[in-house]
Amino acid sequence: MAQKPKLFVTRKLPPDVEARLRHDYDALHNDNDAVYGPDDLVRLSMETKCEGILTCGTEKWTADVISRLPDHVKVLATFSVGYDHIDVDAAEKKGLIVTNTPDVLTAATADISMLCLLGAGRQAQNSEKVLREGAWGRWEPMGMLGVDVTGKKLGIYGMGRIGQAVAQRARGFEMEIHYCNRTRLPADKELGAIHHPTPEDMLPHCQFLSINSPGGADTLHFLNAERIALLPDGAVVANTARGTVIDDNALIPALQSGKVGAAGLDVFENEPGFDKRYLDLDNVFLLPHVGSATIETRNGMGFRALDNLDAYFAGKEPGDRVV
């Protein structure tokens, strides 16, 4: 029987994914889900004599860490779509193959985008708070008022797979879809959505705004004070992309003043740390980055990462190679 490839697995993964790992690989598992720092990552890579590493977005593969990896590490498969936790330039320089897991998060993340839009628009956090604090009393004509989603104008910043899936769901609420993307979609994918060449052109139309763009330097603090000023008064903002896309020092004052009526946020800058001022706001619906948190999606992510590793060890080109 051929020897199984050696893997170092940095996090505890869903049972079905780990079952496939145990069947196909000689892997070091992280059964206790311990936190591995930079030195741990290098040390365990050496001790296991692994040929590949299956990692997550929680581990930081800096240029320093990658430069210290032993030469027997040939492939780094991340259990995530994003790969900003990996210095891809350093990986390319070292000849380290990097893969990610695109496509499998689309539906689940689009669902969370709609949850954030609906939760923020209908003030779901305040309704739950009333129940949990035992404060539900007499019905009030002005109590816990939100805003309708149905029939409103929705702007989507970033019309990739997830943005298009958000648009598909929003059409069920009879929303008028506006979008800003680097390139205009063909008509068969645009499906009547209104394209805007710049955010500045789109934002004045956005009674609701869903941010579904990539992270990175190009979108850092995209939603700043200048762009918030372009939104209609009382607009609802949802972000399920990257926390860095929003300037907290611009959005929080806008929420306090009512310029932005409400926000639904699943991602934050410097997470799991986040700006605690959000906790003092009644018009914010908050989630702890659960866009991909379904059994089906997390299994899909793991299987996609393993498909890439399987391809590499079979001498084939991984389907989701980043570098």
- The per-residue pLDDT for range 295-314, each reduced to its tens digit, is 999 999 999 999 999 999 99
Asked whether residue 323 is domain-assigned, the answer is: no
Q: What is the pLDDT of residue 2?
A: 77
Q: Which residues have a Cβ under 8 Å from the Cβ of 206 and sit 6 or more positions away?
A: 153, 154, 155, 178, 231, 232, 235
Q: Where are the beta strands (DSSP E) in 29-152?
A: 52-55, 75-78, 97-99
* Residue 158 to residue 241: CA distance in whole angstroms: 9
Neighbours of 174 (CB within 10 A): 10
Question: Would residue 194 count as lying in a domain?
Answer: yes
pTM here?
0.94
The answer on 190 and 151 residing in a single domain is: yes
Is residue 1 predicted with pLDDT exceeding 70?
A: no
Please, is 221 exposed, middle or buried when counting C-beta atoms within 10 Å of its C-beta (0-12, 13-18, 19+)? middle
Are 110 and 93 within one domain? no
* Segments forming the whole domain that contains residue 251: 106-286
Q: Are residues 130 and 149 located together in one domain of the fold?
A: yes
Distance CA 58, CA 297 (A): 18
pLDDT average, residue stretch 103-109: 96
Whether residue 191 sits in one domain with residue 66:
no
For CA atoms 114, 115, 116, 117, the dihedral sign is positive
Residue 36 scores a pLDDT above 60? yes
Do residues 116 and 127 both lie within one domain? yes
Q: Which amino acid is at 275?
A: D
CATH code where residue 99 lies: 3.40.50.720
Do 262 and 213 belong together in one domain? yes
| CB neighbourhood size of 161 (10 A) | 17
Tell whether 319 is covered by a domain.
no
Claim to verify: residue 243 and residue 302 sit in the same structural domain: no
Host H or E run for residue 235: strand 235-239
Residue 192 lies in a domain: yes
Two tokens at 194? 């209104």
Residue 226 is assigned to a structural domain of this protein: yes
pLDDT at 175: 98
Are residue 141 and residue 243 in the same domain, yes or no?
A: yes
Closest CA to 230 of 250, 256, 252: 250
For 272-288, what is each residue's pLDDT tens digit?
999 999 999 999 999 99
Residues 161-190: what's their mean pLDDT?
Answer: 97
Residues making up the chain, counted from first to last:
323
Is 321 within a domain?
no
Q: What span, in angstroms and rounded, lies between the C-alpha atoms of 46 and 8?
A: 10
Q: What tokens were used for 58?
A: 């929680």
Q: Decide if 318 is inside a domain.
A: no
Cβ-based neighbours of 209, under 8 Å, separated by 6 or more = 154, 155, 156, 157, 203, 231, 235, 236, 237, 238
Residue 184: DSSP 8-state: P
Amino acid in position 281: L
| Same domain membership, residue 130 and residue 240 | yes
Total domains in the fold of the chain: 2
| Averaged pLDDT, 132-150 | 95
Active-site annotation, residues = 242, 271, 289
